[in-house]
Amino acid sequence: MEAFTTHTGTAVPLRRSNVDTDQIIPAVWLKQVSRTGFERGLFAAWREDPEFVLNDAAYDGASILVSGPDFGTGSSREHAVWALQQYGFRVVIAARFGDIFRNNSTKMGLLPVVLPGDKVADLQSAVEADPKLEVTVDLRERQVRWADEVIAFEIDDYTRWRLMEGLDDIGLTLRHADEVAAYENGRQPWLPTTV
Amino acid sequence: MGRTLAEKVWEQHVVRRADGEPDLLYIDLHLIHEVTSPQAFDGLRLAGRKVRRPDLTIATEDHNVPTVLGPIADPVSKKQVETLRKNAAEFGVRLHPMGDAGQGVVHIIGPQFGLTQPGMTIVCGDSHTSTHGAFGGIAFGIGTSEVEHVLATQTLPAYRPKTMAIEVSGELPPGVTAKDLILAIISKIGTGGGQGYIVEYRGEAVRKLSMEGRMTVCNMSIEAGARAGMIAPDETTFAYLKGRPHAPQGEAWDQAVAHWKSLRTDDDAVFDKVVEIDASMLTPYVTWGTNPGQGLPLAESVPSPDSFDDPVARSAAERALDYMGLRAGTPLREIEVDTVFVGSCTNGRIEDLRSAAEILRGRQVRTRTLIVPGSMQVKVQAEEEGLHEVFKAAGAEWREAGCSMCLGMNPDTLKPGERSASTSNRNFEGRQGKGGRTHLVSPQVAAATAVTGRLTAPADL
């Protein structure tokens, strides 16, 4: 996983709520067995509309997506995270995220930032007024900064540490293999196996 | 202070707890399908890792499979299914491929085999894993990184969600189903209402549901934002499980039941949030919009965006009406559909097919009507009961098992602008095919709608 400490870039406002993962990447793109090439499927249906915000050249190169509430609801497909990252996004800011999407993001190093709804709207307006506005997302300080604004966000210490170090969970868990084995020895005897 | 059911099951699975870290949770059963697993197996190969517990892992082919007999025509779908076969063989995981008597939608086959039992932790790279919570375990969907983690370690690091009780008092009136109940709940609390919670469904109406009905309710927990939904096990649960291939037998059965009976929320336990709903006031429900929270009783009309106070809900409604091609004020019963789909992990079980058949018996469908059993076993059982003859006589299509039109990864899709009444779980834009429009309904409403060609309750026939 790519480490995340602080990121400065431009943003793109997505003024929609309930951006489910079927919109982020439609199911037809899920048939791939590799981990690459998903950027072409990002918001595939919406991007067919020339008016869709990602088709506005003013936002070319943006790396921070600022969305309405309930971003990443629905399907567990991690392909949604891969598509956003491979398109060039490092951060998604919204007032509320789907639980599975948020979890998947932190496994991959895409930072989901929860800000209050009014602050998200302020940032969307600021970016619409100046698409080249520099926005900084500082995980070390747990802050989003633009112009004169400094907005704090919450993230638990453990996830923050893991993201800043770029650590993969499997390696961390395998350090506790003895404890897993000990637990396994005490499992109820009637629990089913698939064999 | 007492503990909730969710807290009890969680605590029984904590492998390791340390300050400032998520709990490390043991996973009792890992379900696999072809779509969210290939990159996870690749990850294992790259790191030279094995599947820690292939004996707690089971795989099936469901999302891509065609529901007409024959090979997979789409080469990309075919490759994905073949990749699962290769991975299952290489890593020693039991697989139920297309054509196998045990094949079916992943959330149908777990309970069918008796692998889904009370008090277990169950995960799958699929958000509808919440279905299995109907047996009183903690079951939730995970992404591919977590699939790889479970394959490698049989554990997951996770913070315990908060607990929510949804208390359903009274009794569901005749003709009102578990599907109507969960659609009403999602409309009440919204698509984000359960975010951060494990939901426990409780109360008289829930106790009276069959296991099939309980699975339908828990299945759609994720549509209210909750990763997991659960129902305390009781005699209904035990009766469903007894005698299934992987259920405990003999003395082990008695021990298991004694343990399962302890899996209930203590009387003095406190939930972080409580939602109350009166089942006796419910009527058949249908969605009008593009998220599962945009639902109403079938007797009502398409709402006006102006009726929403919240500006976010108002603009979502405007956008939804535009996508759905609907005008505010149109009675929901006047909406004409092209296609009816009965199936999916929400409503593809034998009870669902029986209730649809009861309505279609002796009648003719006016729309394209797909009846897709959730598993090969459901298909066999339905045919033994003669349900397939009822469907075929009515003009409906009787298909092979799979996810089918729930998400249209196989050839079963809507064309742009087509409209369905569907017993599945998501009415998202393009979910059933690009440009397709979906109304979520119960199997009974789906069958009645197939007869008239308009959204219809059985009582209207």
B400 at interface of A, judged by CB pairs closer than 8 A: no
Query: Would you state the structure tokens that stand for residue B273, as one six-digit string?
Result: 């949030």
Tell me what pLDDT residue B249 has: 97
Report how far residue A96's alpha carbon sits from residue B41's, in angstroms, rounded to the nearest whole number: 31
Question: Could you tell me which CATH class the domain A6-186 is placed in?
Answer: alpha beta
Q: In sequence order, what are the residues at sequence separation of 6 or more whose Cβ sits closer than 8 angstroms to the Cβ of residue B66?
A: B72, B73, B400, B402, B410, B411
Alpha-carbon torsion (A169, A175, A177, A178), positive or negative: negative
Sole residue written with tokens 């505010």 = B328
Query: Would you state the structure tokens that stand for residue B438, as one six-digit string?
Result: 């979906």
CATH topology of domain B287-452: Aconitase; domain 3 (3.30.499)
Q: What is the DSSP string of B343-358?
A: -HHHH-SHHHHHHHHH
| B5-273 and B287-452, same CATH topology | yes
Q: What is the DSSP string of chain A?
A: ----SEEEE-EEEE--S-B-HHHHS-GGGGG--SS--GGGGTTTTGGGSTTSGGG-GGGTT--EEEE-SSBT-S---THHHHHHHHHT--EEEES-B-HHHHHHHHHHTPEEEE--HHHHHHHHHHHHH-TT--EEEETTTTEEEETTEEEE----HHHHHHHHHT--HHHHHHTTHHHHHHHHHTS-TT-----
Neighbours of B1 (CB within 10 A): 6
Verify whether the Cβ–Cβ distance B77 to A31 is below 8 Å: yes
Q: In sequence order, what are the residues at sequence separation of 6 or more whose Cβ sits closer than 8 angstroms to the Cβ of residue B409?
A: A27, A28, A30, A31, B35, B63, B64, B77, B403
Report how far residue B414's alpha carbon sits from residue B405's, in angstroms, rounded to the nearest whole number: 8
B20 at interface of A, judged by CB pairs closer than 8 A: yes
Condensed to tens digits (0 to 9), the pLDDT of residues B216-258 reads 999 999 999 999 999 999 999 999 999 999 999 999 999 999 9
From the list B144, B149, B192, the residue facing A169 with the nearest CB is B149
Report how far residue B63's alpha carbon sits from residue B81's, in angstroms, rounded to the nearest whole number: 9
CB B163 within 8 A of CB B200: yes
The answer on pLDDT for A2 being more than 90 is no
Hey, which residues 16-55 in chain A have their CB within 8 Å of chain B? 16-18, 20, 22-23, 26-28, 30-35, 45
Condensed to tens digits (0 to 9), the pLDDT of residues B292-304 reads 999 999 999 999 9
Tell me what pLDDT residue B48 has: 96
Report how far residue B57's alpha carbon sits from residue B87's, in angstroms, rounded to the nearest whole number: 13
Calculate the CA B114 to chain-centre distance.
Answer: 17
**Binding site annotation covers B218?**
no
B121 at interface of A, judged by CB pairs closer than 8 A: no
Query: Would you state the structure tokens that stand for residue B179, as one six-digit string?
Result: 């599907």
Angle at B101 between CA B212 and CA B144, to 5 degrees: 70
Calculate the CA A167 to chain-centre distance.
Answer: 16
Closest approach of chain A CAs to the CA of B266, in angstroms? 22
CB B348 within 8 A of CB B215: no
The answer on pLDDT for A1 being more than 90 is no
Report how far residue B89's alpha carbon sits from residue B305's, in angstroms, rounded to the nearest whole number: 53
DSSP collapsed to 3 states, A137-174: EECCCCEEEECCEEEECCCCHHHHHHHHHCCCHHHHHH
Tell me what pLDDT residue B72 has: 94
Residue ranges covered by each domain of chain B: 5-273, 287-452
Provide the 3-class DSSP secondary structure of residue B202: strand
Provide the 3-class DSSP secondary structure of residue B212: helix
The answer on pLDDT for A168 being more than 90 is no
Residue numbers in A near B115 (CB within 8 A) = 192, 194
Residue numbers in A near B262 (CB within 8 A) = none
**Binding site annotation covers B124?**
no
**Binding site annotation covers B406?**
yes
B257 at interface of A, judged by CB pairs closer than 8 A: no
From the list B55, B64, B74, the residue facing A194 with the nearest CB is B55
B8 at interface of A, judged by CB pairs closer than 8 A: no
Provide the 3-class DSSP secondary structure of residue B396: coil
The superfamily CATH assigns to domain B5-273 is Aconitase, domain 3 (3.30.499.10)
Report how far residue A19's alpha carbon sits from residue B290's, in angstroms, rounded to the nearest whole number: 10
Provide the 3-class DSSP secondary structure of residue B428: coil
A3 at interface of B, judged by CB pairs closer than 8 A: no
Query: What are the φ/ψ torsions at residue A71 (nearest 5 degrees)?
Result: -85, 135
Provide the 3-class DSSP secondary structure of residue B316: helix
Condensed to tens digits (0 to 9), the pLDDT of residues B5-62 reads 999 999 999 999 999 999 999 999 999 999 999 999 999 999 999 999 999 999 999 9
Report how far residue B440's alpha carbon sits from residue B154's, in angstroms, rounded to the nearest whole number: 35
Type of residue at B192? G
Residue numbers in A near B186 (CB within 8 A) = none
Report how far residue B355's alpha carbon sits from residue B341's, in angstroms, rounded to the nearest whole number: 14
pLDDT in single tens digits along all 461 residues of chain B? 899 999 999 999 999 999 999 999 999 999 999 999 999 999 999 999 999 999 999 999 999 999 999 899 999 999 999 999 999 999 999 999 999 999 999 999 999 999 999 999 999 999 999 999 999 999 999 999 999 999 999 999 999 999 999 999 999 999 999 999 999 999 999 999 999 999 999 999 999 999 999 999 999 999 999 999 999 999 999 999 999 999 999 999 999 999 999 999 999 999 999 999 999 999 999 999 999 999 999 999 999 999 999 999 999 999 999 999 999 999 999 999 999 999 999 999 999 999 999 999 999 999 999 999 999 999 999 999 999 999 999 999 999 999 999 999 999 999 999 999 999 999 999 999 999 999 999 999 999 999 999 999 999 99
Residue numbers in A near B428 (CB within 8 A) = 20, 22-23, 74
The residue among B428, B434, B440 with the most chain A CBs within 10 A of its CB, best to mutate, is B428
Verify whether the Cβ–Cβ distance A180 to B155 is below 8 Å: yes
A69 at interface of B, judged by CB pairs closer than 8 A: yes
Pick from A67, A64, A70, A83: which is nearest to A26 by CA? A83
Question: Which strands, in side-by-side order, build the sheet including B419-422?
Answer: B397-398, B368-371, B339-342, B419-422, B437-440
Residue numbers in B near A125 (CB within 8 A) = none
The residue among B51, B153, B314, B414 with the most chain A CBs within 10 A of its CB, best to mutate, is B153
A99 at interface of B, judged by CB pairs closer than 8 A: yes
Average pLDDT, chain B: 97
B296 at interface of A, judged by CB pairs closer than 8 A: no
CB A30 within 8 A of CB A77: yes
Residue numbers in B near A104 (CB within 8 A) = 143-146
B77 at interface of A, judged by CB pairs closer than 8 A: yes
Verify whether the Cβ–Cβ distance B407 to A173 is below 8 Å: no
Buried b / exposed e over B50-60, threshold 16 CB at 10 Å, is ebbbbebbbbb
